[in-house]
Amino acid sequence: MVLLSASYGRAQLLYFQKQRRLCNPTRIVCSSDGARRSEKGTRKKVLAVLPEAGEYARNPGHISCVENELGLREWLEERNCEFVVTADKDGEGSEMVRNLEDTDIIISTPFHPAYVTRELIEKAPNLKLSITAGIGSDHVDLNAASDFGLTVAEVTGSNTVSTAEQAVLCILSVVRNYPVAHRQIVAGHWNLAEASSTAYDLENKCIGVVGAGAIGRLVMQRLKGFDVGGMKYFDYKRLPEDAERDLGVTFADLDEVIATADVVTVHVPLSDKTRGLFDEKRLRSMKKGAFLVNVSRGAIVDRVAIVKALDDGHIAGYAGDVWDVQPAPKDHPWRTMKNHGMTAHVAGNTVDAQARYQQGTKDILDAWLSNRPFQDNFYIVREGELAPQYK
């Protein structure tokens, strides 16, 4: 099969979708909104890629794991669906790859992402829908999804509060030098100078917010109560004047936001435009001694450049929960770099968030299996068109 280019005309896209329907006449139909769906009465295969939880699966609220199957098995089987759940997702011989060829719907999370590449989409002729249980669908090759007529959806809004709270936690953590203070106690030490000589108050510090979507706005709202010394933000779409006034923020271009802030916090999706956004040059344009927080996507920050900036002290601290590959390998340099407050990708995966994105996943599945469109802001790729934030 010939690979398609990232930019694909409407006529060619419809032709390709038609060919895929002809190849699978009993499995695929086109619904009223143009999306490819399974025929009623046929048994659909749903593949979920989730992490293993082991002993922690005993908490019934922790449903986003292989053991608890996102709470979907009984619900899906009642709807005549075959349901396969696995944590094994990487490599040609993985359970995910072996099952994908005849899968109709794949479900994954941003926390244990199933990397759905162009090559895998090409090899999965039945695949019609990719659902992100959570927010952020960059683990799917969205241009390939557009080319091949694959619908991509996510549960918009499901973990915005959870992620915003984590961002504030990360900001306070590095500004107050909490990681160093905590590690010395675990190691049996008691060194007041080590902990406090580079710890600061957040009050009166200038905050730079890169991205003013739902999460970015919640972060601004929460930081306002700390009496910070002003907040500047950048987004491709400026907020209304009344929203800026209520949040106490000022719009500025990206370079100004980064160059003037004591703390920069990042809240943009990963796309071709934002990959490597914080490279060597941009990190060096930050104030010496500034802090950087990233709870968006790891690949927005250059892996090597941030290590260098921390090592020579230009950046005072880096915190977040997102990595450029997940799970992060044991030898990933961010595990051992200076002055960091990194965790696994957990910000949007609280028990409360899991309940919200489980319900959103059910809503998407219910609409899809009933040949109905779901709510507009859940679509990331729809009829070959990417959502604005990924263009």
Q: Which of 294, 339, 369, 357 is nearest to 155 (CA)?
A: 357
Q: In the annotation, is 294 catalytic?
A: no
Q: In the annotation, is 375 catalytic?
A: no
Q: In the annotation, is 17 catalytic?
A: no
Element (H, E) at 7: none
Longest dimension (CA), the chain: 71
Three-state SS for 261? coil
Distance separating alpha carbons of residues 114 and 99, to the nearest angstrom: 12
CB 50 within 8 A of CB 65: yes
Q: Is the Cα torsion angle 188, 191, 192, 198 positive or negative in sign?
A: negative
Exposed, middle or buried by CB within 10 Å (0-12, 13-18, 19+), for 139? buried
Choice among 326, 339, 349, 354 that is catalytic: 326
CB 136 within 8 A of CB 389: no
Structure tokens at 5: 């280019």
**Other Cβ atoms within 10 Å of 85 Cβ, number:** 20
Structure tokens at 388: 């604005």
Choice among 27, 176, 297, 382 that is catalytic: 297
Choice among 17, 68, 143, 159 that is catalytic: 159
Q: In the annotation, is 12 catalytic?
A: no
Q: Which of 284, 293, 384, 288 is nearest to 343 (CA)?
A: 293
Percentages of the chain per state (helix, strand, coil), in multiples of 5: 35, 15, 45
* Pairing mode of beta strands 385-386, 379-382: antiparallel
Q: What is the DSSP letter of 362?
A: H
Q: What is the DSSP string of 303-334?
A: HHHHHHHHHTTSEEEEEES--SSSSPPTT-GG
Choice among 345, 354, 358, 382 that is catalytic: 345
| Residues annotated as catalytic (active site), given as ranges | 159, 297, 326, 345
